[in-house]
Every structure is written in C-alpha cells, then in structure tokens.
A and B are shown apart, each in its own frame.
Chain A
C-alpha cells in the first residue's frame, strides 16, 4: 500500500488547486457560481482522503462528528434570511477558529503526554540552546507520535491556537451583536489597559508553552486568557464596525489554519489558510478604507467619544407626506434611490424594486446608488438588491453616481444616514470627517425615509436632514415605501 500516501498527497494537491481556482472564479460575477462548486469539490476530495490517512483511529467517532457538524450547519445555513448573512459568516468563521484552536490544544496536550513518556523523571531538557537534541528528536519521529514537535512547529502551533481562540470568541460576540442579542456596547474605564494585560498574559504563557515549559494547567490558562481576550476585545466595538471586525477575524482564522497546517504537515491547510489570510487582510483594509477608519481605530478607538465639539446644526427638519413625495418622484425625470442598512432591516428591498418599476413605467430614469459600505458588508446591499431582482445596469457605485446628483431631480434616501452626511466633508470636528460619501445633497430634491428624528446608528447629527432641499418622510422603511407605491398607483388613476 505504498501508493496510498501518495494518492492522499495528490488529493490534497488537487484540493488546494481547486480552492485557488474556485476563489479565482468567484472574483468575477459571471463565473462566481461555478467557483464555489469547484471549491466545494476540493473540500470533498480533501475530507474523503483524510479518512484513509495511515494511523487514523476512532474512525466511527470521526465520521459521526463530521456528519453531525455538516448536518447542523447545512440546515442552519439553508434556513437563515439573506439579511442575516453577515452574522452567519461570523458564526461559521468563529467555528473555524475554534477548530484551529482545538487542533492546537490536542497537539499541546499530546506534547505534554509525550514529554512524560520520554522523560518519566520529570523535568525535561528542553533548552533551546541545544538544537542537536531537537534534530535527533525530529529524526527519530515515529508514526505513533512518540516524538516531540520541533521548536518551530511548537511555536507556530501555539501562535495558531492563540489566533484561532481569539477569532473564535470574538466571532461569537460579533454574531451575537449583529443578531441583536447584545445591543449595548460594553465599555468601562481602563478597558484598553485590561485588554492589553489579557493579551500580554496570553502571549507570555504562549511563549512559555512554545519554549517547551508545558503543563496541563498552563495550557488551560493559555486558552482561557486567549478566549477572554477575544471576548473583551470585541465587546466594546459598535455594531456599525462589525463587518470590518468579522473580515479581520476571517483573516485571523485563515492564518491560524495555515499555522496548524504547518504543525500537522498538511500542505492543503497551509495553502488554503494562507490564501484566506492574505485575501482577508486585504478585504479588511478595503472595508476600513471605505469607512475612512484605520483598523487600529476600529479595534481600539472609542467611536464618537471625542466628537463633542461638532457643530450644532441650525434649522429644522421639514416633513413631507407620502402622497406629496410620490407626486414629486412620479413627475421627475431622474430619480436616484440610495438604500442603506435601514432598508435591509425593514426587508424593504422587494417593495423598493416594485416602486422603482412603477416609476420606470412612467418614463422616469431610476438608478440605485450604493455606497461601498452600505448594508453590513461591502457588497451586501448589492446582494440584497439582486435578491429582489434589481438588474445590474441600474445599480451604480459611488464614484460613478456622485457627478450625476447635480442633474438628479429627486434623491430618495431609504435607511441610510452616515453615508449621505455632508458633514463628512464640511465639519472637521465630526467623527466621520473625511469619510467618502454619496453627494445626495447636490440633488434638486432629497426625500429621506427615516424612522424618527433621532441621530443615526453612530449617534452623529446629519446636516442633510436639515438642508433646504430635504424633506423627511417618517416611518418604517417597508411601510413608507408601500405607501409610496400606492400613491404612485393613485397618480396614474
């Protein structure tokens, strides 16, 4: 059976290839659907091959665990609503981080057990000053696992476990926040110091572990500190910043997987993990940039705390009722609809498309303007509009649509706030100063559908709402657009 290990290696190679090709296909709208299927076959091949690895024990238990995990996740993934996708990604990502941490834990515990077998007397000679002894250990590695990990393997294993554990507990908190289970930001004085202390503690214990000073209590303490750090790091971050955080944890999990892959000597894990680590890091940067915030600011800044000196806004919000708003748009030439997260929450995307179709039938030129961070993740709003059946050519990016606002008769803002706030350009004291925005205020008329008069998610006043050309249509997104639909139909008689 000498061909079997080679065949398994080949399977892992094919899997890695399919992952990369799949991701490549996913990066173009036309081939995207095929991409995930390719990657899926890669996963299938890799998992099946793993069952045939030599020296694998507990196969029934293995099969049971795989079956239970797959069934539960498949079922929950099929049932969840499209608007809840971001938190599901967070949840599944956290599971991956947890799995990576579990691999690290098993390796570390195995290390302690092996140490005990090799050095029954107790204190092992694990001085890093004696590389020869490590080389001997590595050379005498036997399949039963009665050999020690090399210092590099041990260090990367510990590092992967640390990152994985942080990603796990952090992602769970991100999931809970987006799901609405944790509404309050958890902030207390000296929080940064406490978090720093937790991280430092985890790193110190991790260094001890990596230098071979291993014991079971130390391992337990290490994971407790790492998990607690992930928890505490994520708790103070506001919901609006969650997409950046989820993306960051996605990259984290990728790195953790790559490191644990190195410990296990599994090339497929190294390649897949590293590809995701790099792609996730870049994606995180893109997202943070679109919100004009550095990643450090998201993680450690306290949003809005320093914005006390922002200019007070003079004037009043001017309300409008649905029938006036409908008439304005029905007789307009160009209408731009600006959907925000509020639209997604109200599940109003289908209603909005119905409304847009009515306008189009009347000869109005309708476009949808999408801010890079509209929704909860970059591109989330595009997915939601696509779900409702809005064709691509009606959807415009920020850079394309901004010059067109001056020639727009009515801009209809639904559930968006910060991304259309002109104070990002005019008021240096505003917390969102410098963030690229949609220049909705340049339109001849602006209609804003909004729940109430309060400030938005980030608690920042919006000068757009007080502008002379802005009219406020108060109400739930779904209900308000429904009224607009009825009123436009009434216009037609």
Chain B
C-alpha cells in the first residue's frame, strides 16, 4: 500500500492545494464552490465500491451496499446541484428568467 511518509506528503500537499484554491475566490462563488467541493468528496463512492467489492459476509455486504448508495447520492446529487448553480453564471441576459434545465 502507500508508505506512511509518502501518504503524509500527499496529505500535506493536497491540503495546501485546497487552501490555495479557496483563498482567492470572490464571495459570489463561495456557495457554488462549497457545492463543488461537496461533489468532489463524492469520490467516496469509489471507496464504498471497493468496500462492497471486497465484502465477504452478508452483513458486510449490506453495509457496503448502503455505503455505495450514499456515495452515489453524494456524487450525483453534488454534480447536479453544482451544475445548476453554475448555469446561472453563463451570461447575464436580463430577461433570461429561470435558466434551469
């Protein structure tokens, strides 16, 4: 698996990356970005899939199944909500009205 210190380096660099991305963002994008980052941690779906794929007893499978359901919800829901929010930023036509869909 991953060597302990290598993981520590990944943790550190990723943390700085996340910090830098948000640090210079205008306030108007805070909500879409929060939603976008909510989508990105939907990668938990991959982990839940691995957990279910390696489950060996019915009990483990049940919990893994729930995990995959929740993870898929996080990923898909996060994507749709973020996309709909960002749709508003397309162009500022004054009479666009409801731009959803």
Q: Which of A55-80 contact B (CB under 8 A)?
A: 55-59, 61-62, 65-74, 76-78, 80
Question: Which chain A positions have C-beta within 8 A of B87?
Answer: 33
Cα–Cα distance between A57 and B51 once the two chains are bound (Å): 10
Q: From residue A456, how far is it (CB to closest CB) to chain B in Å?
A: 22
Q: Tell me whether B14 and A99 are in contact (CB under 8 A).
A: no
A121 at the binding interface (Cβ < 8 Å): no
Interface SS of chain B: helix
| Interface core residue of B29, B34, B59, B87 (most chain A CB under 10 Å) | B34
Cα–Cα distance between A36 and B25 once the two chains are bound (Å): 15
Q: Tell me whether B19 and A279 are in contact (CB under 8 A).
A: yes
Q: Which of A77-116 contact B (CB under 8 A)?
A: 77-78, 80, 82, 85-86, 88-89, 91-93, 95-96, 98-103, 105-107, 109-110, 113
Question: Which chain A positions have C-beta within 8 A of B19?
Answer: 278-279, 282
Q: Tell me whether B60 and A372 are in contact (CB under 8 A).
A: no
Total B residues in contact with A, Cβ cutoff 8 Å: 90
Q: Tell me whether A273 and B80 are in contact (CB under 8 A).
A: no
Q: Tell me whether B43 and A268 are in contact (CB under 8 A).
A: yes
A266/B46 contact (C-beta < 8 A), A102-B63, A103-B67 known: yes
A47 at the binding interface (Cβ < 8 Å): yes
**Of A29, A280, A350, which is within 8 A of B34 by CB?**
A280
Q: Tell me whether A74 and B26 are in contact (CB under 8 A).
A: no
Q: Tell me whether B67 and A99 are in contact (CB under 8 A).
A: yes
Interface string of A381-424 (1 = CB under 8 A from B): 01100111111100101000000000000000000000000000
Q: Tell me whether A386 and B89 are in contact (CB under 8 A).
A: yes
Q: Tell me whether B50 and A36 are in contact (CB under 8 A).
A: no
Question: Which chain A positions have C-beta within 8 A of B14?
Answer: 258, 270-271, 273-275, 278
Q: From residue B86, how far is it (CB to closest CB) to chain A in Å?
A: 5
Cα–Cα distance between A55 and B31 once the two chains are bound (Å): 40
**Of A61, A85, A277, A282, which is within 8 A of B31 by CB?**
A85
Cα–Cα distance between A391 and B88 once the two chains are bound (Å): 11
Q: Tell me whether A389 and B29 are in contact (CB under 8 A).
A: no
Q: Tell me whether A66 and B36 are in contact (CB under 8 A).
A: no
Question: Which chain B positions have C-beta within 8 A of A137?
Answer: none
Interface string of B61-101 (1 = CB under 8 A from A): 10111111111111111111111111111101111111111
Q: Tell me whether B76 and A70 are in contact (CB under 8 A).
A: yes
Question: Which chain B positions have C-beta within 8 A of A153?
Answer: 1
Interface SS of chain A: helix
Q: Tell me whether B41 and A96 are in contact (CB under 8 A).
A: yes
A351 at the binding interface (Cβ < 8 Å): no
Q: Which of A15-23, A434-442, A461-469 participates in binding chain B?
A: A15-23
Q: Tell me whether A102 and B36 are in contact (CB under 8 A).
A: no
Q: Tell me whether A250 and B34 are in contact (CB under 8 A).
A: yes
Cα–Cα distance between A141 and B42 once the two chains are bound (Å): 28
Cα–Cα distance between A76 and B74 once the two chains are bound (Å): 12
Q: Tell me whether B63 and A91 are in contact (CB under 8 A).
A: no
Q: Tell me whether A99 and B80 are in contact (CB under 8 A).
A: no
Cα–Cα distance between A152 and B5 once the two chains are bound (Å): 12
Q: Which of B27-54 contact A (CB under 8 A)?
A: 27-54
Interface string of A362-385 (1 = CB under 8 A from B): 000000001010010111101100
Question: Which chain B positions have C-beta within 8 A of A382?
Answer: 27-28, 31
Q: Tell me whether A275 and B68 are in contact (CB under 8 A).
A: no
A241 at the binding interface (Cβ < 8 Å): no
Q: Tell me whether A145 and B49 are in contact (CB under 8 A).
A: no
Question: Which chain A positions have C-beta within 8 A of B100?
Answer: 82
Cα–Cα distance between A383 and B99 once the two chains are bound (Å): 12
- Which chain A residue lies CB-closest to B78? A92
Cα–Cα distance between A273 and B69 once the two chains are bound (Å): 19
A26 at the binding interface (Cβ < 8 Å): yes
Known contacts A77-B76, A378-B27, A387-B88; 8 further A-B pairs (Cβ under 8 A): A32-B89, A58-B55, A85-B31, A100-B47, A264-B47, A265-B2, A273-B14, A276-B41
* Residue contacts A-B, CB under 8 angstroms, 19 given: A27-B24, A46-B46, A47-B45, A51-B49, A89-B34, A105-B67, A113-B57, A247-B34, A257-B47, A264-B51, A266-B46, A272-B40, A278-B14, A283-B33, A283-B34, A283-B37, A357-B94, A389-B94, A391-B92
